[in-house]
Amino acid sequence: MGIAESAVRAELRNWQAHHFWKGNKNDLGKRLSASKAKKTDDLHLLNLFIHNPSAMDRLLKHGCKVLLSDPIVVGIFDSMFEIYTSKGGIPSGDILEKLEGDPARERFREAMLSPPIYPHEMVEQAVNEFEAKIDKIKMSESISRAREQGDM
């Protein structure tokens, strides 16, 4: 081709320096696994609320919405919360009517038809674990705010 190998290598190094993520590879893995964990929390919470509505009250008071990251699940959660607070229960027909869009209805149906992730005897433990995650997120956010304000 008439192009020196050293020129090609120099261009590749230059391109890599400007286009690749420069952080530690382990940090990237942590960020990706944290993202996956958040989505898992979304699905587990949705499953828990559908199959064990009694857990919803306690987790709502604890601020469980901080665990949600998927906009579709957030929409489902908002509909469930609104119906739960007005009716004291979660009738699936009411929720399906309230949901906007097929992706939300489909996600809700999947969670509704799937078996409970947490058997009845494990619901208390699951709620405790979710509360611990919520507390950890709130603490982390509090520390971040304190650093931004120069308090730390």
Average pLDDT over residues 54-74: 89
pLDDT of 45 strictly over 80: yes
The pLDDT of residue 76 is above 70 = yes
Q: Is the pLDDT of residue 74 over 50?
A: yes
pLDDT at position 135: 94
- Rounded mean pLDDT of the chain? 80
Rounded CA-CA distance 49/69 in Å is 16
Q: Mean pLDDT throughout 62-85?
A: 89
pLDDT band for position 57 (cuts 50, 70, 90):
confident
For residues 57-63, average pLDDT = 89
Model's pTM, two decimal places?
0.67
**What is the reported pLDDT for 18?**
58
Of the chain, the percentage scoring pLDDT greater than 90 comes to 31
Give CA–CA dist 90/108, Å, rounded: 12
Which residue, among 136, 117, 118, 126, has the nearest Cα to 63 in the 3D structure? 136
CB atoms near residue 4 (< 10 Å): 9
* CA pair distance 124, 119, nearest whole angstrom: 10
